[in-house]
């Protein structure tokens, strides 16, 4: 099984699902109660109609009570007018309540996902997570609205009908009283199977979303390799699995509905058989049988509502269970109850015997790291790819938690300060810049939401991107495209630097931020970095050694920890790993 799909197999605790679902009604209780009151009125009108019909057949028509007939019909007309108004309220406000509950759930899961750490996203595909926030909750609106309403109307109608029928003819009423529980038992027995196949359909739907997200994100790579047909084949296989899951669902659903219809028709046949027998034995008249048949129709309606409710419940709760699986995922990094604010940060960073591993069953990425970076100093990290340079930097803002040991900033253990304050004081510029699919203005302003246009322009000037922006057709309102595809690599990098200028952090992390750029662009960005790093504690993960010659300290990372440390001159003089790297860079024309 794909490790990035492992989360698909996890399930939320089964207990308490209905209680959790019910809690989402609380903010909308007034609308919900109005909906249920109207539903009660509709059910009572439906129960009354056969009673009125029986009275007309038994009393009014035989006795030719015209005045009573007119009054009774006028009353029923008024009731049906009011029933129509109640139905409008149920349809409009009921659906509105459902969609608001769906929106609340979507907001809750999105907010919870913001709390989950990097390790969670390392293991789960974006498309699968998107399905949890979108398609998995589409059926919630119908369940939240029709679920309680249909269940309530059905129970009221059935109870009212049974009470009336028992007073009319207990023997015939007993036929219905026995038949209805049998149908309900059948429905309950089939529900579990429907839930299973419905959950499989939602998993396949999520798989399609994941393939779409992956294929669209990598469309340029697919075209570069000429692998469009391979992508089509992958998507076709995924769609085939979805069709297969849907086929299984429809097969179970067909058995469910056909079985329910058979039992309902059997109930009607039983009433006719028993009623006819009672008429032949002179224990009941035809008018009573007609009334009973009308009530059978009244009873069939709530039974069908219960049947539809089962399908809605199955689909809705399958989505809700997948929703719960996310909501029950515990964030691995949170503020401690005693977390303190972090103010007036100087930028003194110290690693105290820090060890880190992504997986406890695997070797540590970093072992027993001890580092001290004083305020305003620049520390450069060099070494082979996968040696732990980026990991070491990601421990500072607590994107990952140290397995053992601890890290302090200005003497404070970072686990004891508020996460928001910690990350507010750290600026990160990476090689793979992510820009949101908005305008340049919006992307720069992301560093300080609410910043004025003057502040944005000043940050752009400091990042040496202002002139480039002015040459664009729409200036700062230029749309950057998906992940900034409309900009060059150097422009994207400088936009990200402008964001950091707006953020004004005390600690700066530059993660191979110029390694993919040409020399001319690198010089321009390096100048921006020099301005950005001034007065800030800076960690630089270096690809080109020419960018770190003047660092206060250079640390060589590899084989689970620190291999060498010192200034450029000291490390070259040692003749070790760094000296070999520097010699290689000199031959390549990188070091001077």
Is the pLDDT at 346 greater than 50, yes or no? yes
Q: How far apart are CA 313 and CA 181, in angstroms?
A: 19
Residue with the two structure tokens 């069908």: 304
Is the pLDDT at 298 greater than 80? The verdict is: no
- Structure token digits, residue 146: 């029709």
- Please report which confidence band the pLDDT of residue 3 belongs to, taking 50, 70 and 90 as the band edges: very low
pLDDT confidence tier of residue 4, bands split at 50, 70 and 90: very low
Write the DSSP assignment of 61-126 as a string of letters: HHHT-HHHHHHHHHHHHHHHHHHHHHHHHHHHHHHHHHHHHHHHHHHHHHHHHHHS-HHHHHHS-H
**What's 3's DSSP letter?**
G
Residue 506 or residue 522, greater confidence: 506
Highest mean pLDDT among 242-256, 270-284, 470-484: 470-484
SS3 306: helix
Does 344 score more than 70 pLDDT?
yes
Model confidence at 146: pLDDT above 70: yes
Is the alpha carbon torsion for 125, 127, 133, 136 positive or negative?
Answer: negative
The closest of 425, 493, 504, 490 to 459, measured between CA atoms, is: 504
pLDDT of 316 > 70? The answer is: yes
Bridge partners of residue 556, in order along the sequence: 382, 564
551: which 2 tokens? Answer: 């660092």
3-class state of residue 11 by DSSP: coil
Which of 583, 590, 512 is closest to 545 using CA atoms? 590
80 and 41 in contact (C-beta within 8 Å)?
A: no
d(CA 174, CA 547): 90
Give every CB contact of residue 361 below 8 A, 6+ residues apart in sequence: none
**579-590 residue pLDDT tens:** 887 776 554 445
The residues near 368 (Cβ < 8 Å, ≥ 6 apart) are: 353, 354, 355, 405, 561
The fraction of the chain above a pLDDT of 70, given in percent, is: 88
Averaged pLDDT, 499-504: 86
More confident residue, 516 or 125: 125
Structure-model confidence comparison of residues 482 and 118, the more confident one? 118
SS (HEC) of 217-264: HCHHHHHHCCCHHHHHHHHHHHHHHHHHHHHHHHHHHHHHHHHHHHHH
Provide mean pLDDT across the span 510-516.
Answer: 66
Q: Mind listing the pLDDT tens digit for each residue in 89-110?
A: 888 888 888 888 888 888 888 8
Quickly state the pLDDT bin for 349 (edges 50, 70, 90). Answer: very high
Token duo for residue 525: 């960005």
% of the chain at pLDDT higher than 90: 9
Task: Say whether pLDDT at 405 is over 80.
Answer: yes
Q: How far apart are the C-alpha atoms of 149 and 151, rounded to whole Å?
A: 5
Distance CA 50, CA 297 (A): 10
pLDDT surpasses 90 at 517? no
- Report residue 244's pLDDT band, with 50, 70 and 90 as the boundaries: confident
User: pLDDT value at position 515?
Assistant: 54
Separation of alpha carbons 19 and 553, rounded Å = 57
| Tokens (6 digits) for 179 | 């038949």
The band of 217, judged by pLDDT with boundaries at 50, 70 and 90, is: low
Please, what are the domains in the chain?
Answer: 14-327 (1.20.1560.10), 348-419+549-592 (3.40.50.300)
Of the ranges 92-96, 191-195, 464-468, 548-552, which one carries the lowest mean pLDDT score?
Answer: 191-195
**pLDDT band with cut points at 50, 70 and 90 for residue 12:** low
Whether 565 shows a pLDDT value over 80: the answer reads yes
**Three-class secondary structure assignment of 117-146:** CHHHHHHCCHHHHHHHHCHHHCCHHHHHHH
For residue 454, count other CB atoms closer than 10 A to its CB. Answer: 8
CB 522 within 8 A of CB 546: no
Query: What burial class does residue 256 get, using C-beta atoms within 10 Å of its C-beta: 0-12 exposed, 13-18 middle, 19+ buried?
Result: buried
Backbone angles phi, psi at 337, to 5 degrees: -55, -30
Measured distance CA(541)–CA(548) in Å, rounded = 9
Look at residue 442 and tell me whether its pLDDT is greater than 80.
Answer: yes
Reported confidence tier of residue 591, pLDDT bands at 50, 70, 90: very low
Tell me the C-alpha distance between 161 and 46, whole Å.
9
Identify the weakest region by mean pLDDT among 175-189, 378-392, 477-491, 533-547.
175-189
Choose among 577, 553, 579: nearest CA to 567.
Answer: 553
As to burial, measured by CB atoms within 10 angstroms (0-12 exposed, 13-18 middle, 19+ buried), residue 343 is exposed
CA distance linking residue 127 with residue 321, whole number of Å: 18
Averaged pLDDT for residues 433-438: 81
Cα dihedral: 115, 116, 121, 124 (round 10): -120
Please spell the DSSP secondary structure of 143-157, one letter per residue.
HHHHHHHHHHHHHHH
């Amino acid at each position: 099984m794909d490790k990035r799909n492992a989360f698909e197999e996890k399930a939320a605790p089964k207990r308490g699902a209905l209680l959790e679902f019910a809690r989402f009604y609380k903010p909308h209780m007034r609308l919900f109660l109005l909906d249920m009151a109207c539903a009660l009125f509709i059910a009572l009108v439906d129960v009354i109609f056969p009673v009125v019909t029986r009275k007309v057949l038994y009393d009014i028509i035989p006795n030719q009570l015209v005045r009573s007939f007119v009054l009774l019909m006028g009353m029923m007309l008024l009731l049906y007018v009011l029933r129509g108004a109640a139905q409008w309220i149920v349809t409009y406000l009921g659906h509105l309540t459902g969609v608001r509950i769906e929106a609340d759930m979507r907001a809750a899961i999105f907010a919870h996902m913001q709390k989950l750490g990097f390790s969670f996203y390392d293991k789960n595909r974006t498309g699968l997570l998107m399905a949890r926030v979108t398609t998995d909750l589409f059926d919630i609106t119908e369940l939240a609205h029709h679920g309680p309403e249909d269940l309530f109307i059905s129970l009221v109608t059935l109870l009212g009908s049974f009470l009336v029928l028992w007073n009319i003819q207990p023997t015939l009423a007993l036929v219905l009283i026995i038949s209805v529980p049998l149908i309900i038992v059948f429905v309950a027995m089939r529900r579990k199977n429907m839930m299973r196949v419905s959950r499989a359909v939602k998993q396949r739907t999520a798989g399609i979303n994941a393939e779409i997200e992956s294929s669209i994100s990598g469309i340029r790579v697919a075209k570069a390799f000429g692998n469009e047909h391979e992508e089509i084949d992958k998507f076709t296989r995924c769609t085939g699995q979805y069709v297969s899951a849907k086929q299984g669902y429809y097969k179970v659903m067909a058995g469910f509905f056909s079985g329910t219809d058979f039992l309902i028709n059997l109930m009607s046949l039983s009433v006719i058989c028993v009623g006819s027998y009672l008429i032949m034995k002179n224990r009941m008249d035809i008018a009573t049988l007609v009334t009973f048949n009308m009530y059978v129709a009244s009873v069939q309606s709530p039974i069908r509502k219960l049947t539809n409710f089962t399908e809605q419940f199955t689909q809705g709760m399958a989505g809700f269970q997948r929703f719960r699986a996310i909501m029950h995922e515990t964030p691995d990094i949170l503020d401690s109850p005693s977390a303190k604010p972090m103010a007036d940060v100087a930028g003194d960073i110290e690693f105290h015997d820090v060890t880190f591993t992504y997986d406890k069953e695997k070797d540590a990425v970093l072992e027993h790291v001890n580092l001290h970076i004083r305020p305003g100093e620049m520390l450069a990290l060099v070494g082979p790819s996968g040696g732990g340079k980026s990991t070491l930097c990601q421990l500072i803002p607590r994107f990952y938690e140290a397995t053992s040991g601890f890290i302090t900033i200005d003497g404070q253990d970072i686990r004891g300060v508020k996460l928001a304050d910690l990350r507010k004081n750290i600026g990160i510029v990476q090689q793979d810049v992510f820009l949101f699919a908005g305008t340049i203005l919006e992307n720069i302003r992301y560093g300080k939401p609410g910043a004025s246009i003057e502040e944005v322009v000043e940050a752009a000037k400091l990042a040496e991107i202002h002139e480039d922006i002015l040459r664009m057709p729409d200036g700062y309102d230029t749309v950057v495209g998906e992940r900034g595809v409309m900009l060059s690599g150097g422009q994207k990098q400088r936009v990200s630097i402008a964001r950091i200028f707006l953020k004004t952090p005390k600690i700066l992390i530059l993660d191979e931020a110029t390694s993919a750029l040409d020399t001319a662009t690198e010089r321009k960005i390096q100048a921006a970095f020099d301005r950005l790093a001034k007065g800030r504690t800076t960690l630089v993960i270096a690809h080109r050694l020419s960018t770190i010659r003047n660092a206060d300290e250079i640390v060589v990372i590899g084989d689970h920890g620190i291999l060498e440390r010192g200034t450029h001159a000291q490390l070259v003089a040692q003749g070790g790993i760094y000296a070999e790297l520097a010699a290689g860079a000199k031959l390549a024309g990188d070091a001077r």
